[in-house]
Amino acid sequence: MLRTLAIAFLSLALVSCQSTQAPRSAPSQAGPVLLPPPGVASGAYGDLPGWSGVSLMDSVQAFQRSCTKLQARPKNAELSAKATWAGQVGEWLPACAAMARVRDEAGARAAYQSLFTPIEALSPDGNSRFTGYFEPTYEARRTPVPPFTEPVPAVPADLIPNGASPLQRLPDGRTRPYPSREEISRAGVTPIAYAHPSDVFFLQIQGSGRLTFPDGSTTRAVYAAHNGHKFKSTANWLIETGRITRGQASMQGIRAWMDRAGPAEARLAMNQNPRYVFFRAEPEGDPTLGPVGAQGVPLTPLASMAVDTDIQPLGMPMFVETSAPGLGGHWSGLLISQDTGGAIKGAVRGDLYFGTGTDAGSRAGTMNAPGRLWVLLPRAVADRLLRNMMVSEAPGLGDPPAAP
């Protein structure tokens, strides 16, 4: 599973932008996902900000990739065990079949409007946040050659998967919690390649990347496991110790400080984050697509989004209104929930995948803004959901009678 981390998790100096329309807070209700109460209009695409001008074909292709995962599941399975309001797999398959026949933008718009009902997701505290992430590209070598001396670590043979708390098997057969970054770095690891030390550090924060070699070949370094230690911000430590200012707390600013500080000081800074990520090497495949996300399908630039899977299912179309300099200011778009990450928490929370390389990284780094989010549900699922909400809110069903 690709472990995504919003760039905001790394940097304290991201640009904060305001959406053109402030997100609404939800009324107090039970349940993790708070959708509009009875009486709130749904299904009106004209109410989606910028809907008529949004490009849709990338999201159609991304949705079709998600459908390959749905089609392999039992029809009576819930789309999500935690978000049962999203219905069963079988209720989504007609939409999958119909979207597979879409060939152009006009057909995409007609298909979405006929197949899905948009319903705005609301947050109980009114909070919303949209950030961005990308797949970095780093120069690498097959053997250590200065300055490419840091191993891109493969999963070690002594690591025992144990949920969020992996174990280390010792030579005598005993086990213990897996060591910290500092301990792992001292002991050494098995490499899949070698890169600049700071590049490997940022690759571990980002969770995946492409490694390019002098012969022109490219390999994907894909997230495989971590050591179970809690992520701690190196940027915060650098600011608190006076090594950098808040204005320098970007990926580029921290990399520049590491280059100035030298290897020993840079290693000290890296070790402030005890979490250590391991990778597996995979062929590049289609260079226009990103790494494989949590749903098991390749990510599509600005058509894939990481969400909180405790609240939102994977494989769902979502309409987002937000803003960022890297998106040209105010922006609306349709994305498919295909990834997740430890920093992605909340009902109106998304991490937009921007693509691969330096330009994508620069654009993603500007993304840190509030916004609004609509889930697009198959019409039958949406009708049932809204009908059930109306029944649960109706008087005489357990609520105390209204005062005369």
Give the residue with greater pLDDT, 182 vs 365: 182
Q: What is the mean pLDDT of residues 311-328?
A: 95
* Residue 54 pLDDT level (bands cut at 50, 70, 90): very high
Is 292 within 8 Å of 2 (Cβ atoms)?
A: yes
Q: Which domains does the chain have, with CATH numbers?
A: 7-130+305-344+365-392 (2.40.40.10), 133-283 (2.40.240.50)
The predicted structure's pLDDT at residue 256: 93
pLDDT for res 397: 33
- Residue 43: what pLDDT? 56
Q: What are phi and psi of 206, to 5 degrees?
A: -70, -35
What is the per-residue pLDDT for 122?
87
| 345 pLDDT higher than 50 | yes
Instruction: Please give the pLDDT value at position 12.
Output: 27
Cα separation, 203 vs 222, whole angstroms: 10
Amino acid at 112: Y
Which whole number is the average pLDDT over 216-223? 94
**Can you give the pLDDT at residue 392?**
59
Q: Strand, helix or coil at 112?
A: helix
Q: Which residue has the higher pLDDT, 394 or 366?
A: 366
Between CA 400 and CA 1 the distance in angstroms is 47
Place of tokens 């226009």: 288
pLDDT tens digits for range 355-379: 999 899 889 988 999 999 999 999 9
Contact by Cβ (8 Å): 15, 329: no
- Rounded CA separation 43/128 (Å): 22
Which pLDDT belongs to residue 111?
A: 97
Q: Which residue has the higher pLDDT, 290 or 6?
A: 290
- Quick one: pLDDT at residue 388? 79
**pLDDT tens, position by position, 83-128:** 999 999 999 999 999 999 999 999 999 999 999 999 999 888 888 9
**pLDDT tens-digit series, residues 223-276:** 999 999 998 999 999 999 999 998 888 888 899 999 999 999 999 999 999 999
pTM to 2 decimals? Answer: 0.79
Nearest to 61 by CA among 289, 220, 283, 285: 289
Average pLDDT over residues 7-23: 33
Task: Examine the pLDDT at 6 and tell me if it is beyond 70.
Answer: no
Find, among 3, 63, 9, 2, the residue nearest to 300 by Cα: 63
Instruction: State yes or no: pLDDT of 216 exceeds 70.
Output: yes
CA angle 97, 102, 104 (to 5 degrees): 170
Condensed to tens digits (0 to 9), the pLDDT of residues 57-78 reads 999 999 999 999 999 999 999 9
Q: What is the mean pLDDT of residues 193-212?
A: 93
